[in-house]
Structure 1
Amino acid sequence: MEQQNENTCIICDQKKGHGIRVYTEFICDDCEAEMVKTDVVDAKYPFFIHQLRRIWYKKDA
């Protein structure tokens, strides 16, 4: 039996059950799909970059 764990997405900050793990952080399926289709000239692109930087730069580090 598969256990459904909810993780908080580093992009949208919502709890989701499915997604990918990058290093120690979780990205939900919805955000992953949106990032993949986002062009570099899209207004959301800098937002995604900012959120992804949180994977490597921790405030308390």
Structure 2
Amino acid sequence: MEEVTGNSCIICGQEKHVGIRIVDEFICDSCEVEMVQTEVQDAKYPFFIHQLKRIWIQNNA
């Protein structure tokens, strides 16, 4: 994990300091862990997919 300051997580929207960067977007460590552990059948799975699609939409606009 990389310590980053002043970043709002694209998943939860909270300001966090530790996480990963994908393209120009930040995902906090707690959201990353939750996404990796989420099963496809889980009700929250489509939410994660939607949020991750935002990364590609924002960077291809």
Sort the TM-score into its range (normalised by shorter chain).
0.7 to 0.9
Q: Which runs of 5+ in 2 are unaligned?
A: none
Structure 1 runs, 4 residues or longer, greater than 2 Å off? none
Structure number with higher helix proportion: 2
Q: Which has the larger radius of gyration?
A: 1
Provide the alpha-carbon RMSD of the alignment: 1.4
Q: Which runs of 5+ in 1 are unaligned?
A: none
Counterpart-to-counterpart distance in 1, 2:4 and 2:56: 26
Tell me the matched-pair count: 57
Query: What TM-score does the superposition give when structure 1 sets the normalisation length?
Result: 0.87
Identical columns (%): 65
Query: What TM-score does the superposition give when structure 2 sets the normalisation length?
Result: 0.87
Structure number with higher strand proportion: 2
